[in-house]
Chains A and B, each alone.
Chain A
Amino acid sequence: MNSKGFTNPIVKWIDYRLPVFSYLHHELHEYPTPKNLNYWWNFGSLAGVCLVIQIVSGIVLAMHYTPHTTMAFDSIEHIMRDVNYGWLIRYIHSNGASMFFLVVYIHLFRGLYFGSYKAPRELLWMIGVVIVILMMATAFMGYVLPWGQMSFWGATVITNLFSAIPVIGEPIVTWLWGGFTVDNPTLTRFFSLHYLLPFVILGIVVVHVLALHQHGSNNPIGIDIKGPQDSIPFHPYYTMKDTFGLMVFFLFSAYWVFFNPNYLGHPDNYIPADPLVTPAHIVPEWYLLPFYAILRAVPSKLGGVILMFAALLILFVLPWLDTSKVRSARFRPIYRQFFWLLVIDCIVLGWIGANPPEGMYIVIGRIATTYYFVHFLIIMPLLGKLERPLPLPTSISESVTKKPGLAAAE
């Protein structure tokens, strides 16, 4: 194991006892990666970077933040005004959450388009779904911490959802709150969990990457690597491509952090929480809006809650709902159209989630919700059987000579 050709005696000494260098060499350099990954494959590593940024900025914020109902809001203003570059750290963290979700959603839809969830990557996909769900829980609890109006009322609405569960619903809500209303015990436990969960996510990300490295990345044409001519080492090719993508992503994020830091938030959260004043519209952050729309599409509270969780949980069984043997949508002309319809459907759901549940919004919300489930439960299983896929290329290296990219989908 120590004969990797390391020449530095210190590296050799360490590697003989703890083969970290061999491991890195194996996972980064020897690790064969398909030649033809396009820019949509940047978003996995970007998501990893987002997680690290959130953890680091969050740890610094926690040094100055006070989790108490009478002091939380003031401590945020203390961070914004008195802590050196506190505004920068907080804006990185609050906008970072949005950036993280944007990146992860793109990553998820990339998997959906190119069939990255299909055998042998079902577990890889399912672990990813676990990460998304944990991210949502973490982000929700993080949004409560400033103890503004939206924090308080968002927490009230979301925790109250559990009261829809028959018989044990009410006790569960009391247990979540640590009392009989959303109050200080709720805030302190949310803070504790908001600090804990990112490290749980980090652990699961490691498992996600382990699962990825078992069979390697899928690729835009969705056929397996057949020989050395189809693959290149991850380093330096994809480390360099990821670094370039990272810089572009930083530029995009910098716009929000420096020039529009409150756009993605809600003005009401700059009003201190007041249990006696309900805001006109209680809305979650943009990344949760589609699920909020599904929740409110059903006239029954329990039904709405079930459907909302089903919308997430359905992703777990996606590898078995999709009956097509062809991975990439590039060779599935009909599925490709339905994929974009689903993207539109999710955006429509987000738009509905931001609006009050009245008039046309209810009707559109119900149609969009129905379509969401129809896509996964009816269209995907049927289409795999009915659709006639285009002929697949024989190898990755052959397809590389033609410029790859999602552009082929247009």
Chain B
Amino acid sequence: MKKTIIAFAFAALASVPALAASSDAKAPPSQQWKHEGFFGTFDRAAVQRGYQVYKEVCASCHSLKYISFRNLPAIGISEAEAKAIAASYSVKDGPNDEGDMFERPGRLSDKFPSPYANDKAARAANNGALPPDLSLITKARANGTNYLYAILVGYADAPAGVKLGDGMSYNPYFSGGQIGMPKPLNDDQVTFADNTKATVAQMSQDVTAFLAWAAEPELDARNRMGIKVIIFLLIAIGLTYAAMRRVWAAVH
């Protein structure tokens, strides 16, 4: 009886994310991610390629406002390079001693500049749709990494009978099947420095890995610490169990 109930409770628990994703959208298929599992770590090369895709493609519409240039060394970009990347942006600062705002080259401490001045400007430029900030996107969607990848590779011609709204694209993984974002990636859109072939699938995978890092930059450290904590606790369990048995030996 007890076992049945425990099994039942776990089944109920397991169904929670499924419900969260339940809508008219197609469920995203599961992909293999290097950063998943107890020993998962981000694939630095993929994350760097993904950063390139973000910078060259996504960044024209999507902000990444919780990420600073100083975070880039964490994905294997050298500090000098990160400084150079920051300096290639112009950042509004001020007021100076004369009381004027001024533009200056970006510094490591600056956040990634947003493509639009505000949400209204973003909507005005995008047919009324707001391109979401991508800093937390894999955490802010159910089954986030798989969902994001599925969206990026999921663009297709609308099946017969589906009437698309003005400026909308067909994407079965998006709620409602219609997405405001036009197909963002095409083969060979970027040229990777490491000569990886830039297929849509490859770029989608890489940019998803990058955004997963952006959402959970602590993941590597978290997994490493988790393993140590688990090992420590397993030993502690053994010791406290032995101590308990010894203390109780006289009672039984």
Neighbour of B144 across the interface among A248, A267, A281, A340, CB < 8 A: A267
Distance in angstroms from A42 CB to nearest chain B CB is 11
CA–CA, A262 and B234, complex, Å: 24
What per-residue 1/0 map shows which CB atoms of B234-252 lie under 8 Å from chain A?
1011001101100110011
Neighbour of B1 across the interface among A81, A241, A281, A410, CB < 8 A: A410
B8-33 residues with Cβ-Cβ distance < 8 A to A are 8-9, 12-13, 15-17, 19-20, 23
CA–CA, A252 and B38, complex, Å: 14
Q: Is the CB of A343 within 8 A of B247?
A: no
Question: Can you name 26 A-B residue pairings with CB atoms under 8 Å?
Answer: A35-B251, A74-B66, A87-B222, A240-B248, A243-B243, A247-B233, A247-B237, A251-B233, A254-B229, A254-B233, A258-B222, A258-B223, A258-B229, A261-B222, A263-B17, A267-B140, A280-B23, A281-B19, A340-B2, A343-B5, A347-B5, A351-B12, A354-B15, A354-B19, A410-B1, A410-B2
Interface of A is mostly: helix
Neighbour of B139 across the interface among A262, A286, A409, CB < 8 A: A262
Question: A77 on the interface (CB 8 Å rule)?
Answer: yes
Q: In this complex, what residue of A is CB-closest to B233?
A: A251
Distance in angstroms from B11 CB to nearest chain A CB is 9
Distance in angstroms from B208 CB to nearest chain A CB is 15
Q: Is the CB of A259 within 8 A of B223?
A: yes
Q: In this complex, what residue of A is CB-closest to B227?
A: A258
Q: List residues of chain B with CB within 8 A of the CB of A236.
A: 247
Distance in angstroms from B86 CB to nearest chain A CB is 17
CA–CA, A270 and B141, complex, Å: 8
Question: A355 on the interface (CB 8 Å rule)?
Answer: yes
Distance in angstroms from A315 CB to nearest chain B CB is 20
Q: How many A-B residue pairs have CB under 8 A?
A: 110
Neighbour of A244 across the interface among B9, B19, B244, CB < 8 A: B244
Q: Is the CB of B233 within 8 A of A271?
A: no
Question: B135 on the interface (CB 8 Å rule)?
Answer: yes
- What are the nearest 7 A-B pairs in CB distance? A258-B226, A270-B140, A244-B240, A87-B218, A270-B139, A251-B233, A240-B244
Question: B217 on the interface (CB 8 Å rule)?
Answer: yes
Q: List residues of chain A with CB within 8 A of the CB of B247.
A: 236-237, 240
Distance in angstroms from A218 CB to nearest chain B CB is 19
Q: In this complex, what residue of A is CB-closest to B71?
A: A81
Question: B225 on the interface (CB 8 Å rule)?
Answer: yes
Q: List residues of chain A with CB within 8 A of the CB of B90.
A: none
Question: B142 on the interface (CB 8 Å rule)?
Answer: yes
Distance in angstroms from A155 CB to nearest chain B CB is 19
Q: Is the CB of B66 within 8 A of A77?
A: yes
Q: Is the CB of A406 within 8 A of B16?
A: no
Question: B136 on the interface (CB 8 Å rule)?
Answer: yes
CA–CA, A251 and B238, complex, Å: 12
- Assuming the A-B contacts A270-B140, A343-B5, are A350 and B226 also in contact, with contact meaning beta carbons closer than 8 angstroms in the complex? no
Q: List residues of chain A with CB within 8 A of the CB of B236.
A: 247, 250
Question: A88 on the interface (CB 8 Å rule)?
Answer: yes
Q: Is the CB of A88 within 8 A of B225?
A: yes
Question: B189 on the interface (CB 8 Å rule)?
Answer: no
Question: A268 on the interface (CB 8 Å rule)?
Answer: yes
CA–CA, A250 and B13, complex, Å: 20
CA–CA, A96 and B63, complex, Å: 32
Neighbour of B16 across the interface among A81, A280, A354, CB < 8 A: A354
Q: Is the CB of B1 within 8 A of A80?
A: no
A340-370 residues with Cβ-Cβ distance < 8 A to B are 340, 343-344, 347, 350-351, 354-355
